[in-house]
Structure 1
Amino acid sequence: MLAGALVGIIFGASAQHSRFCLRAASVELSEGGFGPRISIWLIAFSAGVLFVQLSIAAGILDVSQSRQLAATGSMSGAIIGGLMFGCGMILARGCASRLLVLSATGNLRAIITGLVLTLVAQASLRGALSPAREALAGLWLVPGGEARNLLSQLGLSSTIAAIIAAVALAFAFWLARRSDVRSSHAFAAAIVGGAVGLGWLFTYAISQASFEVVAISSVTFTGPSTDTLMGLVNSTELPLGFGVGLVPGVFVGAMTMAILTREAHIERFGPDTPMERYLAGATLMGFGSMLAGGCAVGAGMSGGAVFAITAWVAVFFMWVGAMATHLLMGRISRRAAVAA
């Protein structure tokens, strides 16, 4: 729990300061841009991959027994869930991690949306929506092991993956500099990726020392959020674990950074931010994240850093779903404006 809290504080503070957000990056790309938002996301992603793959190459990390690689995965879930999640984060103006970070700054829209997302995710995992999730996930399964490891499929080593990630990180920093991104924002984005790597290292080290079985994992939000909420609702005691420390840690880190930078303020729903759109987005993200095997960070960052093939497919379709939804909403808005 303490490891999760520490990683959460680091992630929350750096995500808040860097404006790390997959939704913002996908919107920028869909509008033909290739600048600050994409550079921030690419710095974070490349830094996470570099950290994890260097650790594996150095022999201090082994992720082969992680759920993302060892368990049976779902390609159909990654595709359908990724599309749903991408669509939902456009409607809700943020993914699961971004909503948690914004909640800590006083954004009441993010708090309500995040709660609905968490409830739908719980219903998708163990409740009324779980049969639908299981049916969609079972359409196309991938066995665990090498079949789910993208590096094994491509015949690449962790060292080669780390070199590629280092080149991508250098390009991302160059792009950030060209796009006039503040140095502190770019550095904070790299720390976001570092927090993902730190999560993998902490849970692996604990799993090697613990007498009990400890799952090797890293930063993800929908699963830990549902566990934390259900624990608070159904029990007087929370089972102490990495995820239970992670969620409040992110909240504290983001809130502290927002206060220090004087960015904390109350935001409510308004005419330009209709509640029904946010709730629809939360529903799509809650179901989509459980179907895809994680959120934009859990699948896209943590799963992507260990090269789980389903994670890479999921984050690709998150981009596709988000860009298509943004373009469709823009077209609808322009038609409405012309009709008016």
Structure 2
Amino acid sequence: MDIVALIERIGEAPTAALFGLITGIIFGVAAQRSNFCLRAATVEFARGKLGPKVSVWLLTFSTAVVWVQGAQMLGLFRAADSRVMSVPGSWSGAIIGGLLFGAGMVMARGCSGRLLVLASTGNLRSVVSGLIFAVVAQMSLKGILAPFRDKLAGLWITGAENVSVLDLLRIPDWSGFAFGLAVAVLALYLSVRNGIGPKILIFASGVGFAVAVGWVLTWQLAQVAFEPVAVTSATFSGPSANTLMFFLDRNAVFEFDVGLVPGVVLGALISSVLTREFSWQAFDSVPVMRRSMIGAVLMGFGAMLAGGCAIGNGVTGGSVFAGTAWLALFCMWIGAVVTDFLLDQRAPAAQTA
């Protein structure tokens, strides 16, 4: 792809949005076909199983690491230039935000990325929860909740830049690629043991591939663009808020985020229609709706505090070994496991949710 020619033809901002659209479509199709979901994986793990949901999540995570680290070894991308690594990270934000997000995704029955995919398949519950998530994320980014978020995030920061897990462990860069391969082998073993077919495996790895596509495209664009371009990839906290404001603010401009969210919707919608999995669904009861709305609020604030959602931290940030992303992911697992135990395993009445 001749990026310079594309910029000359449509401009830098539309090019960034187009790259977001491409990344989003790949992600949407792959996530819808593989049923990739961190919430489902954590619940399965919380109940003492290493079943198909955990297998799919591990395969997605590992292939993202392999694709991204492989691209870096080939000179197609440089993790140090990414937005998540070039700005200060917050350890306190990762811990508190990760716990809140983990609890919220269990209550809402899906992380922000999963809600977006489900909404594209006719799930009206996810539409409502997703809109609440986007509004709260925007409130936490620039609105009334922003000062509180800044205060919590400022309790413990990494310094001038984020911290690389590889640098902390003082191990060579190629070990990231090797780690990804090792986890992929484990994921494939669990997948075979759980009887997961090749199609699901391909699409699960496709989610990881989408993350690598986003990193490579935005990095390549940043090398030739006149204006500064954020090197980023798939995440749904900031992009959801930015996309919402794009349609509400006439002065909003095109960017990667604005193309990413519509791309996921388009990809998941086309995939669900072609596979005849599109189906209108709504809330079953008021308690279920109330629980989902509370979960969406927790996810919206938690994601902005943690520096990203389950995709942004757990796959995208994790693939470049950002220290705060790994800590946030760990806390998301803890928050989800504890919430599932308290709300669903200990309270039979909550199981209907």
Q: Same fold (TM over 0.5)?
A: yes
Match of 1:61?
77
Aligned partner (choices 204, 209, 233) of residue 189 of structure 1: 204
**Are 1:155 and 2:170 counterparts?**
yes
> Separation in 2 of the partners of 1:336 and 1:172?
31
| CA positional deviation for 1:144 | 3.9
> Separation in 1 of the partners of 2:234 and 2:101?
17
Q: What SS class does the counterpart of residue 347 from structure 2 fall into?
A: helix
Per-residue deviation, residues 221-247 of structure 1 (Å, max 9, x unmatched): 111111111121121x64111111110
With 17-26 and 65-74 compared, the bigger mean Cα shift is at 65-74
Is the Cα–Cα contact under 8 Å of residues 27 and 210 in structure 2 kept in the other structure? yes
Per-residue deviation, residues 248-274 of structure 1 (Å, max 9, x unmatched): 000000011101111100000113862
**Are 1:239 and 2:253 counterparts?**
yes
| CA positional deviation for 1:335 | 7.8
> Separation in 1 of the partners of 2:174 and 2:345?
45
**Are 1:224 and 2:239 counterparts?**
yes
Aligned partner (choices 286, 292, 295) of residue 300 of structure 2: 286
Match of 1:317?
331
Per-residue deviation, residues 49-94 of structure 1 (Å, max 9, x unmatched): 1111111122221121222112111000000000000000000000
**Are 1:115 and 2:127 counterparts?**
no
Identity score, percent? 46
Match of 1:78?
94
Match of 2:282?
268
| Counterpart code for 1:77 | G
| CA positional deviation for 1:158 | 2.4
Match of 1:125?
141
Is the Cα–Cα contact under 8 Å of residues 86 and 317 in structure 1 kept in the other structure? yes
Aligned partner (choices 26, 30, 46) of residue 30 of structure 1: 46
With 166-175 and 44-53 compared, the bigger mean Cα shift is at 166-175
Match of 2:115?
99
Match of 2:6?
none
| Counterpart code for 1:33 | K
**Are 1:203 and 2:218 counterparts?**
yes
> Separation in 1 of the partners of 2:216 and 2:302?
28
Aligned length: 335
Is the Cα–Cα contact under 8 Å of residues 96 and 221 in structure 1 kept in the other structure? yes
**Are 1:2 and 2:8 counterparts?**
no
> Separation in 2 of the partners of 1:315 and 1:83?
9
Is the Cα–Cα contact under 8 Å of residues 228 and 238 in structure 1 kept in the other structure? no
**Is there any run of 5+ residues in structure 1 with no aligned partner, and where?**
none
| Counterpart code for 1:137 | A
Structure 1 residues 42 and 71, CA gap change in structure 2 (3 angstroms): same
| Counterpart code for 2:320 | V
> Separation in 2 of the partners of 1:222 and 1:69?
17
Q: CA RMSD in A?
A: 1.5
| CA positional deviation for 1:2 | 1.0
Aligned partner (choices 311, 314, 334) of residue 297 of structure 1: 311
> Separation in 1 of the partners of 2:292 and 2:220?
39
**Are 1:212 and 2:220 counterparts?**
no
With 178-187 and 92-101 compared, the bigger mean Cα shift is at 178-187
| CA positional deviation for 1:332 | 4.1
**Is there any run of 5+ residues in structure 2 with no aligned partner, and where?**
1-16
